[in-house]
Amino acid sequence: MQQANPQMMLDMRLARDPQERALAAIGIPRRYWHLELDNFKFRQIEFRGQPFSSAAQRHLVKWLCTEAEWHWGRLIVIASDPTDNDAMALGSFILQKLLEKGCPVGFDDIAYTPKWYDPYPRFLLLHNIFRRISDDHVGVVQKTVNRFGGCTKLLLVGGVTDPWKFSTKQIGYIPNYVIYVSSFLRSKKKKSS
């Protein structure tokens, strides 16, 4: 039997205000709190056989965060290499912006239970997905994607430089969008006034 994520439990204890408690409650790691879009760098990748520039990816992220009402049932694969840290940071940033707007979200670490979901999420973040994904984990990802067909899913993938190919070949889904995060700079913690 899987157990609860120990980092999530620690973050719950260390949260200092209602926003941080909300972020900790859905499983967003403390090191990804208080990020801004300027913290991220993107790299041009291929999307549907065409170049997808870093500027276009930045614009896509801005659009996801500001026009949440237009995103129903989309699949967005966010990748970084060699780990999923940069993808996780961007996915967490997007969820934080959506939470600030009151958008119902879900967060699923496919390696741990319990899961956290709003009863009817508009956005669902799935992470702990890696290039050498096992057949069991592919099944968990597919089952979750199918279960929440009407909401937008953000798949955060580590160890992958071609998110389009990874999604279509290894997961078996054609994504609506792909993003490659080449790096992120940690922001300084916001000070209370």
What pLDDT, on a 0 to 100 scale, did the predictor assign at position 79?
A: 97
How many angstroms separate the CA atoms of 187 and 125, rounded?
A: 22
pTM: predicted TM-score of the whole model, two decimal places:
0.86
Residue 12 belongs to some domain of the structure: no
Q: Residue 110 falls within a domain, yes or no?
A: yes
Residue 121, in any domain of the structure: yes
Q: Does the structure show a pLDDT above 50 at 60? A: yes
Q: What is the CATH number of the domain that holds 108?
A: 3.40.50.300
List the domain range (segments joined by +) for residue 94: 41-184
124 part of a folded domain? yes
- Rounded CA-CA distance 43/179 in Å is 8
Does 176 fall in a domain?
yes
* Residue 78, helix vs strand vs coil: strand
Q: Report yes or no on 20 lying in a domain.
A: no
Instruction: With a cut of 50, say whether residue 1 has pLDDT above it.
Output: no
Q: Domain total for the chain?
A: 1
Q: For residue range 7-37, list pLDDT tens digits in order.
A: 778 888 898 988 888 888 777 888 888 889 9
Spell out the residues 6+ positions from residue 99 whose beta carbon is closer than 8 angstroms to its own. 22, 23, 26, 105
pLDDT digits (tens, 9 = 90+) for 97-129: 988 888 888 888 887 655 666 667 888 899 889
